[in-house]
A and B are shown apart, each in its own frame.
Chain A
Amino acid sequence: MTFLLGSGAGFSGDRTDAAPPVVAELIRRGQPAALIFETLGERTLAAAHRAMREDLQAGFEPLLEELLEPVLADCHRHGIAILGNFGAANVAGACRVVRELAARQGCTGLRIGQVHGDDVRDRLESLDLEPWEAETRALPMGESLISANVYLGAAPLVQALERGADVVVTGRVADPALFLAPLVRHHGWAWDDWDRLAAGMMAGHLGECGAQVSGGYFADPGFKEVAELATLGYPIIEVEADGRLVITKPAGTGGCIDARTVKEQLLYEVHDPAHYLTPDVVVDLTHVVVNELGRDRVEVLGIRGKPAPARLKTTVCYDGGWQGEAEISYAGPNALARARLAVSILHERLRFRAPAELRKRLDIIGHMSVFDDDLGRLRQQDQHANPAGDYRVRLACEHAERRWVERATQELLALYCAGPAGGGGVRRHFQRRVHTASFLVRRDDVTAHASLYEDAAHE
């Protein structure tokens, strides 16, 4: 029987009203289904660990309650399992929020499963580590080390479902494993049924970023038109027992699903398409075919699988000191020349007002910023920018000590009175940085398991 996977969120900070139309469609269809919230990336895992350094009660998805509030009772009533990596750095903290929400909503008997085993911080130094293939940084040790989390596979999530969990809360697991787990549970796939595991992982890969497969992150007016982006429908993936999968979305929602949206998401964050590494299977995409079956219905065929890798990826977070940012605007006649002058003044001031080890970067937003490198090489080559535009000079800097990023950004603030004419709209911002690096641990060194969150059974 077909299993339906609905996406409720594709990243931390995603729309919090995306899930209800997906849940309504899952209920309308009446087939076995699960709802997935994927809210954890390299950036957000670091943010969660940063938050926990300030507050031990934090460290899980900050929007968790807002995401679950409109759908928890409906999902529970209709037997739709909810799986999410919204536990981030504090799985128990997220479980507590779910339990309290369930109590307020009168969801009696809701069982919350929690996945353990991704956190290897305490035994990192005893593990056999290899650098991840594109990693150039050395393993940080001692006090600067904040966390180490393994990308777990779907097995402990399946265990949580088998123990009767209605909601499964995880920390670091491979994003598509959130989708694979209910498929393995429902279809009874074996852990060496590589082609089916690969299809399930790709169902997850296509669904894990939410609207990125259904018209989000796609529109390019005049080239790739997408209707009604303000009411974008999040994806539902139909997966058969033999691994066939179809991507669709709730009727009456905005967005679009066609071969182009599916192809863009198929290779998103993929490196070698013949060896897409996941904890449970190595996926081979080289024979994939994408067929449009009808409006907002796309079938993906030809996904193949190979045995799971011997090592699992581990993200290590460590203290990255402080980052400071400050910006000032110049607009109207001769604005570019005034912005360039501001940049050169800042370069000169920072040479004697900040220590040499301060990492820094200056951009002229509106002329050349995100494409450029830290030295501004593209900006220096390009002489064709509009001299009378609307420009914003941005300074970004990083140092182990906060006082030096404060001092450096204060130099931009001082341009108000001591810089070029007509500068305005200064904003300054500081934050602690958490740097990340990736390593590989031996699969056998990782012991993941699931348990039911105790207090939940007696609500």
Chain B
Amino acid sequence: MSDAPFGAAHDGGDGVTVTLHQLAHSRAGDKGDRLNLSLFAYDPRHYSLLLEQITEPRVLALFAHRGASRVRRYPMPGLAGMNLVIDDVLQGGVNGALNLDGHGKTLSFLLLGLTVTLPRSLLPERLPAK
């Protein structure tokens, strides 16, 4: 599974690979140099796939270029979601970073660029717009 920042959907043989963005929504929050990314499946049937594939080591690798030191994942089964807490990833945080986005607010969409492989039967029939 490649983790280019901007993944695209393609057929992977026994399963279908889509961007996480097709299956889930996320919001970023910051405190100091720590970032949290919530992640929720649009369809609760996809929650177990997220648990299998959006793992702590994979998220740590996604943020390794920014110096992330640790990722902790808190599953929230009642909400079909999880909370990902990433340490030392904001390069100084909102008052210390040189990044245009010192809060790290845009980083929820870096997470949503990860890819997820799912069985064809679980592919959403349409985009999850309400």
Q: A-side interface residues toward B, CB under 8 Å? A: 41-43, 46, 132, 134-136, 217-218, 220, 222-225, 258, 260, 263-274, 285-290, 302, 317, 320, 323, 359-361, 363, 365, 369-374, 377-378, 382, 394, 396-398, 433-438
Residue in contact with A263 in the complex, picked from B30, B34, B79, CB distance below 8 Å: B79
**B95 touching A263 by the CB < 8 A rule?**
no
Q: How far is the CB of B113 from chain A (nearest CB, A)?
A: 9
Query: For the complex, what is the distance from the CA of A302 to the CA of B78, rounded to whole Å?
Result: 10
Query: How many residues of B are in contact with the other chain, CB < 8 A?
Result: 47
**B85 touching A271 by the CB < 8 A rule?**
yes
**A225 touching B129 by the CB < 8 A rule?**
yes
**B34 touching A271 by the CB < 8 A rule?**
yes
**B128 touching A267 by the CB < 8 A rule?**
no
**A267 touching B65 by the CB < 8 A rule?**
no
Query: For the complex, what is the distance from the CA of A317 to the CA of B81, rounded to whole Å?
Result: 35
**A320 touching B87 by the CB < 8 A rule?**
no
On chain B, the residues within 8 Å of A320 by CB distance are 95-96
Q: Indicate whether A370 sits within 8 Å of B99 (C-beta atoms), given known contacts A42-B94, A267-B76, A288-B79.
A: yes
Can you list 27 A-B contacts with CB-CB less than 8 angstroms, sorted by A residue number? A41-B94, A42-B32, A42-B93, A42-B95, A220-B25, A224-B25, A260-B42, A263-B40, A264-B26, A264-B38, A267-B29, A267-B83, A270-B36, A271-B36, A286-B78, A288-B76, A288-B78, A302-B78, A370-B99, A370-B107, A372-B99, A374-B91, A394-B100, A435-B96, A436-B93, A436-B95, A438-B31
Query: For the complex, what is the distance from the CA of A374 to the CA of B99, rounded to whole Å?
Result: 7
Query: For the complex, what is the distance from the CA of A273 to the CA of B5, rounded to whole Å?
Result: 28
Query: Nearest chain-B residue to A368 (Cβ)?
Result: B5
- Judged by a CB distance under 8 angstroms, whether B9 is at the interface is no
B71-127 interface with A by 8 A CB criterion: 72, 74, 76, 78-79, 81, 83, 85, 87-88, 91-96, 98-103, 106-107, 110, 127
Query: Nearest chain-A residue to B40 (Cβ)?
Result: A263
**B98 touching A378 by the CB < 8 A rule?**
no
**B95 touching A434 by the CB < 8 A rule?**
yes
**A371 touching B110 by the CB < 8 A rule?**
yes
**B31 touching A42 by the CB < 8 A rule?**
yes
Residue-wise, chain B 1-40 has the 8 Å CB interface mask toward A (1 for contact) of 0000100000000000000010001110111111010101
> A-B pairs with the 5 shortest C-beta distances?
A269-B29, A267-B38, A361-B98, A370-B101, A396-B98
On chain B, the residues within 8 Å of A397 by CB distance are 98
Total inter-chain residue pairs, C-beta < 8 Å? 150
**B5 touching A378 by the CB < 8 A rule?**
yes
**A269 touching B36 by the CB < 8 A rule?**
yes
On chain B, the residues within 8 Å of A435 by CB distance are 92, 95-96
**B130 touching A225 by the CB < 8 A rule?**
yes
On chain B, the residues within 8 Å of A41 by CB distance are 94
On chain B, the residues within 8 Å of A287 by CB distance are 78
**B98 touching A359 by the CB < 8 A rule?**
yes
Query: For the complex, what is the distance from the CA of A265 to the CA of B85, rounded to whole Å?
Result: 15
Query: For the complex, what is the distance from the CA of A288 to the CA of B78, rounded to whole Å?
Result: 7
Residue in contact with A43 in the complex, picked from B27, B42, B95, CB distance below 8 Å: B95
